[in-house]
Amino acid sequence: MSNRKGTAVVTGATGGLGALYAAGLAERGYDLLLSGRKRTTLDAVAKAAKQRADVKVDTLVANLAEAEDLARVEARISSDPAITALVNNAGAASFGQFAKLSSEALDETTAVNIIALTRPDPRSVTRLTGARRGFNRQCRIRAGLPSVAGVRRL
């Protein structure tokens, strides 16, 4: 298995843009750590990535709205020197009139779209962007707020 480029972490990898990033990164020779809320969907994306390219793919089931799950993802990124890229694609949305949204729905949206986006810790981001071999892409397409940090061409 290839690991010349290191390992790319993709959060929100269970579908949409996250699955597309996983496929594209695998084709470019990155091993993958895929994170998402749904085990079966995450496993399907991992299987598809492995079929596209000869890369190692690990999965980490996590709901980034939950502090414990976010801490597990952070710890993995911070402690694994093989990680050279981060696509922080996870997102959540609440639909309806703002005044009628529950506080739980607003808390989840805030936790995933703001708190998780500002993680992992700054040392990890410095390692990723300072290595000049990786990149860190923060995706906020669902919120309509594209935000990119330390992006390098693949």
What's the token pair of residue 95? 């639909």
Mean pLDDT in residue range 65-88: 88
Which residue shows structure tokens 């607003």?
106
pLDDT the model gives residue 72? 92
Judged against a pLDDT cut of 90, whether residue 147 lies above it is answered with no
What's the token pair of residue 98? 């703002």
pLDDT band at residue 120 under the 50/70/90 scheme: low
Q: Greatest CA separation found in the chain?
A: 51
Domain boundaries, the chain: 7-138
Report yes or no: 7 and 82 within 8 Å, Cβ to Cβ: yes
7-138, what's its fold? Rossmann fold (3.40.50)
Query: Distance (Å, rounded) from C-alpha 1 to C-alpha 111?
Result: 35
Kindly report whether the global pTM for this prediction surpasses the value 0.85.
no
Judged against a pLDDT cut of 70, whether residue 127 lies above it is answered with no
pLDDT the model gives residue 62? 93
